[in-house]
A = this chain, B = another copy of it.
């Protein structure tokens, strides 16, 4: 690989600024939620039926991509700090979701939040 991995770049970014002192899991969960709030803000006045096309307009797309980048960075920092592997966490949760929402009951029906 001819360039450093993203996690290595991210660790260097944090280390150079001496920011790991702020990055305990509580604060990183707050970072993640506040970045998710900024992403949310991009879509708050767009109607459902316009959300796909809005996501293709160059300026809006760039803003959305920036917020997605911030959310991804926060999530990666939290996984790195806690030692939780993101891919494993996603696979395990997907398996739980399969059991929680059996196809025969869930098909075509929005689920209300269940924790």
Residues of A within 8 A of B (CB): 6, 9-10, 13, 16-19, 21-22, 24-27, 29-49, 51-52, 54-55, 61, 63-66, 68-73, 75-76, 78-79, 81-82, 84, 86-94, 96-98, 101, 103, 106-108, 110-115
Nearest first, the 8 A-B pairs at minimum CB distance are: A37-B37, A69-B93, A45-B110, A41-B113, A69-B89, A26-B51, A36-B36, A30-B44
Given the interface pairs A34-B38, A44-B27, the reply to whether A82 lies near B55 with Cβ below 8 Å is yes
In the complex, chain B residues whose CB is within 8 Å of the CB of A19 = 106, 108, 110
B84 touches A68 (CB 8 A): yes
Listed A/B pairs (9) with beta-carbon separation below 8 Å: A6-B90, A25-B52, A25-B64, A36-B71, A68-B75, A68-B78, A69-B94, A72-B89, A75-B75
